Chain A
Amino acid sequence: MSTVTIVLLWLINLVTDTGGQLAFKAAAIENREAQGWAHWRHMLGRPWIYIGAIAYIFEFVAWLAFLSTVTLAEGVLLGMAGIVTVMVGGRLWFKERLTRPRTIGISLILAGVALVGLGGGA
């Protein structure tokens, strides 16, 4: 498979993963008053949760295609990139604050995911 295809799969994966997460966040906070079933009825009557679900179906297919063409290391790297893009997306769209505990926490998780992913096969 050509480099262009792999880069394209990378981008599709990253965009659908990040887009799906941000859409779910948008769905969850659209109606701040409704609770329980009323909240779910509201979410299911609005587009965001479906946009998130469709993004995840695309991501699943792109992930399968991606894994069959690249090494495990590249796959792990992609998973790590998703953590960063969701954080940046949340900052841009929802004005989430990047406090120090959050930055440190996310960095530790990035390092942990890298070690778990690449440290296999003992």
Chain B
Amino acid sequence: MSSRVFFIIGLLALLVFDTFAQVCFKFTALHAAPLTFDLPWLLRALSTPWVYCSILGYLCAFVTYMTMLRRIPVGPAFAAAHLEVVGVLVISVPLFGEVLSVLQYLGAVLILAGVFCLAYGESNRNPGGMAVEGH
């Protein structure tokens, strides 16, 4: 698998896990509201299944990210991980009825364009034998 394909697959997996975790986190916060930062609030948060879905999502995202870092340089990987911002932004419209501004749509497009550039910047060749991940 070339670094470019590896990068794209990794990012898509990261996007799914990260967005899932964030959405579950939001449901947890809604369930535990009002935000009082005390023991009853913590107990309310821990009594909903959403918080455990969120933790599971973050764990999967972490494993994905660590696997990506084996081959992808950390500078581009960290920058590209901000694709999650787009995922959360887009899904918050149907799920939480949030209204996005034109500037936010433009920002999402710029992040996508940046991620495409970073993917294009990764080698299109298959490294012969050296630590090929994903098997």
**Residues of A near any B CB (own CB < 8 A):** 21-22, 24-25, 27-29, 32-33, 35, 39, 43, 49, 82-83, 86-91, 94, 96-102, 104-122
Contact = CB atoms under 8 A, between A and B. Distances in A.
A24 B81 CA distance: 14
Interface string B95-133: 000011111101111111111111011000000001101
Listed from nearest, the 9 A-B pairs whose CB atoms lie closest are A119-B103, A115-B107, A101-B121, A122-B101, A105-B117, A108-B114, A112-B110, A112-B111, A87-B75
A86 B78 contact: yes
A35 B135 CA distance: 8
Contacts of B109: 112
B80 interface: yes
Nearest to A93: B74
Interface extent on B, as a size class?
35 or more
Pick the most buried of A90, A98, A101, A114: most chain B CB atoms within 10 A of its CB. Answer: A101
A120 B114 CA distance: 20
A25 B78 CA distance: 10
Contacts of A104: 114, 117
B121 A25 contact: no
Interface string B50-88: 000000000000000111011001111011101001100
Contact of B82 (A90, A107, A113, A118): A113
A24 B117 contact: no
